[in-house]
Structure 1
Amino acid sequence: MDQLHILEKIKMIPVAYQQEVEDFIDFILQKKVKKKNEEKTQRKLGLLKGRMKMSDDFNAPLDDFIDYM
C-alpha cells in the first residue's frame, strides 16, 4: 500500500472521525518510539551479583501449607 492510496482514504473520512484517525496515528508513532527505546535499554546481567542473599531453606515447603500436603 503506497502513501498516495492511504492519503486518498484519509480524505474520504468524515470530519467527525478525523480526530480519532489523528489520535491513532500518534499512538502508532509513540508505540514505535517506545519499542525503539526499549531495545536500547536492555539490562546488563550480573548487576545485583553479591547484593542479594537467598535463604538456605528457600525451596522448603512453607508452614502455612502443611495442611494441604
Structure 2
Amino acid sequence: MSQTNAIASINSLLLQLPESLQVEALHYVEYLTHRRVGTDSQIGNRPTTPKRNGFGILKGKVTISDDFDAPLEEFADYQ
C-alpha cells in the first residue's frame, strides 16, 4: 500500500468515527509521533538523539562531601 493510499484509508475511517473517538485517534497519533522522536527517525526536520537510560546516566553530576559519614553535631546527645 502506498503512503497516499494509506492516508486516504485512514482519513475515510476517521470520518466514520464519532468526534470523541476522532480526538482519541489524534492523541494516539501524537503519542506515536513523540515516541518515534529519539530513535533513528527525523520528524519535522529535527535531528534526533537516542535517550540514554540506566546506570551511569548521572555520572559526574552528583557529588558527596568528604565528611558524609562524620557524626552530626545535632545528634551528639544521642551518641
Q: What is the TM-score when the length of structure 2 is the normalising length? A: 0.43
Determine which structure has greater relative contact order: mean sequence separation of CA pairs < 8 Å that are 6+ residues apart, divided by chain length: 2
More helix by share: 1
